[in-house]
Chains A and B, each alone.
Chain A
């Protein structure tokens, strides 16, 4: 496979995108499982499908439409969550379905033969283009810089929002910023695993990492390593057997989680 990677541009792109996806998954995934924002992230991911449809309809790059929708929905979710007493679960459920509905509607408006949406829904790492790589790189740099440059403040905010607020941290800013970072992460992951499978890649690597460490920073690093290992091996398997890359990566990492959780005693068979 090494020669194939050196030879084929599409395999190089697949490799780069898998590595970049692992980095943002390790960082943002760790944050969202600690902050219980998994469903929220799933909601943002699915809402972005509306943007994919819009992109096709307006004949612009669908990933830009998705980026716009993801940012827009994340800001709406935070704002409504802060201002009203609507339960976030309810809100996410509605936005989740609405985003998908908008996407399907736009695509039905298109003249002629409808485009194949499956690479956005289920991911196809082997069709990642050079432009996708450039967009992903920019988003990854933003996410990594945002978290590392304010790491102590993020940690304090994530651990105890009220205390941080009293100490003078602008927790409003951190909350909005976090949701924007989640939106950017979703976009990085769309091409790798697809909208529907994103949640697994965001949660499983940090969940595996948490089986081995009680330290926030180590959780992130381990999650990145696990993510990279599983997405590369998934990529290799999917290339070898010509099966869908997104599903292969997710199943590999999911099964590993359950086996390890069972072995380390986090999940027990009976009382």
Chain B
């Protein structure tokens, strides 16, 4: 029996009485690399924010390693959408990543220890952003900024990484670069990515869930044509995005394919 790190039961979220998430059931195992795909407005961001305790669900239960959200989310590293950011904010790369070291434990007149700084520089080296450490974040490319945000999340030494559209508005090269980084991180850390970027599914993720109000998920990489039809309402769009047939076909029992 695999150890589950996130367990969601019977989750419902409404916004002004309109259902955003309906009867969500989801179990994520340790070191899983899960993609949550679905159209814009399908509730991907909402689901991530519920897991992080940023949105209060109307009903249902979320457990992170058996803990309630308030305790459990300390184990999560969060990588929000780049587009939510004020890129003009006067702050440099190193200071952003150091923020991952902040928690509820620090008191008055806190300053980062040499240990914090060494740790963060190690992360920057791994993510290949050490060269820009003094650069203001508005002067980075999309892919660089995305790596900075991943670095900030990793600085908190999380067991689970939640990423919201990490490859939106990136070119193909930076996109595969980000997925390669995530794949490496996945050796240690459970990763959940919300994305509408269907092209990466087959090669990097080991499981896929489809979300459009309802969640279609069978614990592996297989999505039935039926699920896709229900979620997107248009299978042609999938083909247009260049998804390989393997995703839709029979490919069971292949979770540890790497």
Contacts and interface: CB of A to CB of B under 8 A. Distances in A.
A170 B80 contact: no
A162 B164 CA distance: 13
Interface string A207-222: 0001001111011000
Contact of A215 (B90, B109, B152): B90
Interface in B69-122: 73-74, 76, 78, 80, 84-86, 89-92, 95-96, 99-100, 102-106, 108-112
A167 B156 contact: yes
A150 B108 contact: yes
Contacts of A159: 86, 89, 91, 96, 99
Given A166-B52, A166-B78, A34 B86 contact: yes
> Chain B interface: which size bin?
35 or more
B149 to A, nearest CB: 9
B39 interface: no
Contact of A160 (B53, B73, B99): B99
A164 interface: yes
Interface string B128-150: 00000000101100000000000
B100 A167 contact: yes
Contacts of B52: 162, 166
Contact of B80 (A150, A152, A155, A163): A163
A132 B99 CA distance: 39
A121 to B, nearest CB: 33
A166 B89 contact: no
Nearest to A35: B86
A164 B74 CA distance: 11
B54 interface: yes
Contacts of B102: 152-153, 156, 164, 167, 169
B136 A214 contact: yes
Nearest to B71: A168
Contacts of B49: 162
Nearest to A163: B78
Interface string A139-175: 0000000001111110110111011111111100000
A2 B36 CA distance: 70
Interface residues of A, number: 28
B84 to A, nearest CB: 8
Contacts of A148: 109
Contact of A34 (B90, B92, B110): B90
Contact of B91 (A164, A170, A216): A216
B99 A155 contact: yes
A122 to B, nearest CB: 32
Contacts of B80: 160, 162-163
A169 B86 CA distance: 20
Contacts of A213: 90
Contact of A165 (B54, B85, B106): B54
A160 B82 CA distance: 11
A167 B104 contact: yes
Nearest to B111: A152
Given A34-B90, A155-B99, A160-B85, A169 B104 contact: yes
Interface in A171-214: 210, 213-214
B59 to A, nearest CB: 21
Given A152-B111, A214-B92, A166 B73 contact: yes
A132 to B, nearest CB: 30
B112 to A, nearest CB: 7
Contacts of B110: 150-153
Given A167-B103, A169-B104, A170-B104, 12 more contacts: A34-B89, A152-B99, A155-B91, A156-B99, A159-B89, A160-B80, A162-B52, A165-B54, A166-B54, A215-B90, A216-B91, A218-B90
CB-CB nearest 4 A-B residue pairs:
A168-B104, A214-B136, A149-B108, A156-B99
Interface of B: 49, 52-54, 73-74, 76, 78, 80, 84-86, 89-92, 95-96, 99-100, 102-106, 108-112, 136, 138-139, 152, 156
28 contacts: A34-B89, A149-B109, A150-B110, A152-B102, A152-B106, A152-B111, A153-B102, A156-B99, A159-B91, A159-B99, A160-B85, A160-B99, A162-B49, A162-B52, A163-B78, A165-B53, A165-B54, A166-B52, A168-B74, A168-B103, A214-B91, A214-B92, A214-B138, A214-B139, A215-B136, A216-B89, A216-B95, A219-B90
